[in-house]
Amino acid sequence: MVVMVSNGNSPAGAFAPVLTAMSTMRDGQREQKKAAHAYLESFQKSAEAWQVTIGILQSTADPEAKLFAATTLRGKITYDVTQIPSDALPLLRDQVLELLKVFATGPRPIRIQLCVCLAILAIQMTGWKDVVQVVVSTLGSSPESHACILDFLKVLPEEVTEGRKINLTEAELQQRTQELLGDNAAIVVQLLINYAQSSDTAATNPQLLEVITSWLREVPVSDVVNSPLLNVVFSALDSDRSFEAATDCLCAIFKETRDVDDNLSTIQILLPRVIALQPRIAQAQQQEDTEFFKGVTRIFAEAGEAWVVLIARDPGVFRPLVEAVLECAARDMDRDAIALTFIFWYELKLYLILERYIEARMQYMDVYSKLVDVMLKELEFPSADGPNSSDLFDGDREAEEKFREFRHHMGDVLKDCCEIMGVTECLSKVLDRIKAWMGSYAGMATHESVPHWQQLEAPLFSMRALGRMVDKDEDIILPQIMPLIVQIPHHEKLRFATIMVLGRYTEWTSNHPELLESQFKYIVSSFETDSKEIVRAAAMAMKFFCTDCKHQLGGQVVQLQHFYNQTLDKLPLISQEELTEGVASVVAVQPPGQIFDLLKLYCDPLMARLMALANQASDDEGKLAVADHLQLITTFIQIVKPYVEPDQENPAVRYCQEIFPILSTILDTFMTFTPICERICRNWRHMVISYRTAISPLLPAMATKLASGFATSRQGCFLWATSAILREFSEDREHVDDQTTEAIYTFFEAQSTNMLRIMNDLLPQETPDVIEDFYRLLVDALLYYPHKLVHSQLFTPIFQAGVSALALEQRDPLIAVLHYIRDVIGYGGENPPSSTNAANPPEIQRVVQQLILSNGEHLVKQILAGMMITFPDDCFSDGSGALLGLFELMPEATAAWVDKTVRMLPTGTVSEAEIERLMVGIKSRLVEGREGIRKVRSLLQDFTNNYRRRYVAPRDGLGRLEPERFRFNS
């Protein structure tokens, strides 16, 4: 029962511990803060928090304490209102209204929280029908109460539309929404009109405009537009005080008119008033008022977004709006507002490229042409103002990064223009810019200085942005541009831009081999520069050249190895990987008869480097170098996959057999260093994936190393590699004999037995990563070897271990375990997640159903405990999916397990009435069949979400929900 706090005038008494904890949070040591935070979190969910928070708000405590109290009260009303008898709710409402009177003049954050409290309480007090009238009359008509009333009117629709967090049924919430919003819409509009007309100050009050914005989703937009409020909104644009709020309100009005055919008359009223704002664009630029300019730009851009279909449908009427958006983009010299127009250009493009709007497309062609000119100018790097000509941003790295990111967004707009104008027209503008620079400044360029290089770099960047749009058969503009750009004077940013262009157009170059040599030489020579950025760009470009022009470069594969070997050690790791990916692509397309020799040519030097690094590795840095270098070998295995007939030896497998003993030795040497183990397992995994059943000659040795490695190191990467073997040599795979399949499955069971021993010895929290890898392996095992696994003696302990692992709190291992459990449940029915289309045999269904009957109670307990207390948010759908599968398979038994579990929750955290409501809901849905079972899933999600929001995990453990320790007797 909520009562007025008797000692409200003193911060002492019942709420002193709360104030002390808050003081500790502000000034205490780390451990003290941790304890204080835990205390406050527990306090917020306690029953006594009702009296204490109201007491603090009535006391002389400082504003910070009062804000905490108001926030806590908001949470209590949202989640814990069931702690109060329903006949006491009017008293609570009256207390909140009295507090609102006290805080009518501020501080505003506290006033806002109290308004939210009152709004949420109004939603739940379904018998309170005259909410708006009572609040307005209670708070009074004095000027200081106006702010309070406006705040309440603003938050009411916001809280109602967020009503899913309130414990009402959908039907109750729908009815309450109509009562609070729909039935009050006309009243609120008249209240706002009266207030706006009360004084000039009121008409430009940002709070008034915020309330209009908040109610726009509830009030028909035509009612606002056809009322005096529209003049209020447009007039508010003239005041600095209200400009931002008026802009927000106007844009909200536009959004409400997106269904243009339903709002045509409203749009006809708005359009001329919006167009009349166009002179303000130049005015804002002249005044150098950035915020004003951004607001005006936003008005035009968002009006365009809302009415884009009309702009395409009727260009004669709406072209002035498009021209206004273009003017905003063109006048934005500081690049502060232009991004606000990007969505509009994209959405208009989506309509104009349709056949039905071809006429409008032609009429807007000149607008998009001008937009290309604007973008090419905006893409230019700034000129250096200081003595350091290379520092264009005066040392502001954040501004530099922001500009680089911004350029890529401008590149997207150029693509939109290209789709409207066509590739040839866009590239012609680029060519004109390059020629203009060449004609004006090329003769003045030296090795040390390139005048106005920004004007040349911008069209180069635009070429790179347009790369995806250009067909490899383009024969008009690119053959003119490509010979020009490889002659551009030396300048770091120009060379970088050129390399990026060449790398972007490698598909086009593969179709124009006559230009390959000059471009390839340009890239190769770039590796000799001192610029790390250029070298990295060159490595990336080389990857694309070798990938896309691999057939043209085949004749140079031997010379390419010489370049690769000489260059590799000079590159950073990521560039080494890119260059390796490129040269491996060239090797991959050579005749199978040459593959073995080419792999030796390219990879033997890599293996020699690897052994040298392994011999020198005495610390973690040296060992990491070994792990990184292993990746280069793996890249060749991933890419070089020659096709040979099944009965012939694969030359790549032959080379793998040569290097396998070396990799095994390195593995044995660094068994305790996880990165090396992971890279070698990754290497072996890709041997299996790339060469599939051709890898059979290596399987015995590989399986032996994987088994011994896992037993010794207990690292999950060995299970990860095992899963690849399991998939490739599954029961229904071609060219795999029964003996091999049996050997593979026996190998899998050996790995599983080792893992179960680990889970017997260690808690799940000690091996989360290995558990994740193990259950991902099991998903594959169940998919490809269902009959063997289900009838295995390990099937039950594996399932029980998975249930115990649900005590984990990390997302990835939990998802892996839940996926396996869901798959197992699927095999209890007629449609399991199988790799074949064969029917699920009845004996498999019986075994799985018996497993679930024996372990279902424990499983349901762990899933519900996780969903209510311990699971991360990302695991909810899989947890509820597992429960759904159980309900589909065994509805009555699962309902009984749920009932038993929710009654294990800590005393006082859930009422008997809530449990009964849940169970009655479940039972009533179950009789509806399959569709009803899906509704049961929603019921459980709502129940667990509601519980989770109200209660934190007990610090002294989960009590009867605590998981049982897994035990395994091998």
Q: Give the 3-state DSSP-derived string for 69-108, with helices as H, strands as E and coil as C.
A: HHHHHHHHHHHCHHHCCHHHHHHHHHHHHHHHHHCCCCCH
* Angstrom distance (rounded) from CA 303 to CA 347: 12
Tokens of 339: 């991004």
Query: Among all chains, which residue has been given the structure tokens 């009957």?
Result: 853
Backbone φ and ψ for 809, nearest 5 degrees, come out as -120, 5
pLDDT number for residue 400: 79
pLDDT number for residue 4: 40
The DSSP-derived string for 363-417 is HHHHHHHHHHHHHHHHTSPPPP-SS-TT-TTTT-HHHHHHHHHHHHHHHHHHHHH
Spans of the chain below 70 pLDDT: 1-14, 163-170, 384-395, 731-735, 835, 949-961, 970
Using alpha carbons, select from 875, 897, 895 the residue that is nearest to residue 961: 897
* Residues 813 and 719: beta-carbon distance below 8 Å: no
pLDDT number for residue 587: 97
Q: State the SS3 of 793-857.
A: CCHHHHHHHHHHHCCCCCHHHHHHHHHHHHHHHHCCCCCCCCCCCCCCCHHHHHHHHHHHHHHHH
The HSE-up count of residue 647 (CA atoms within 13 Å, CB side) is 0
The HSE-up count of residue 139 (CA atoms within 13 Å, CB side) is 30
* Residues 402 and 392: beta-carbon distance below 8 Å: no
Q: State the SS3 of 496-517.
A: HHHHHHHHHCHHHHHCCHHHHH
pLDDT number for residue 580: 97
* Residues 603 and 659: beta-carbon distance below 8 Å: yes
pLDDT number for residue 319: 96
Cα pseudo-dihedral 31, 37, 42, 43, rounded to 10: 120
pLDDT number for residue 797: 95
pLDDT number for residue 701: 93
* Residues 89 and 81: beta-carbon distance below 8 Å: yes
Backbone φ and ψ for 763, nearest 5 degrees, come out as -70, 155
Q: What is the pTM of this model?
A: 0.79
Using alpha carbons, select from 512, 515, 510, 545 the residue that is nearest to residue 527: 545
* Residues 928 and 886: beta-carbon distance below 8 Å: no
* Angstrom distance (rounded) from CA 106 to CA 63: 10
* Angstrom distance (rounded) from CA 704 to CA 697: 13
| CA max distance for the chain | 94
Cβ-proximal residues to 469 (8 Å cutoff; 6+ apart), any chain: 415, 418, 419, 423, 426
pLDDT number for residue 75: 87
pLDDT number for residue 167: 65
pLDDT number for residue 2: 43
Verify cis geometry, omega within 30 degrees of 0, for the bond prior to 107: yes
pLDDT number for residue 442: 86
* Residues 193 and 202: beta-carbon distance below 8 Å: no
Between the CA of residue 57 and those of 13, 51, 76, what are the distances in Å? 14, 10, 15
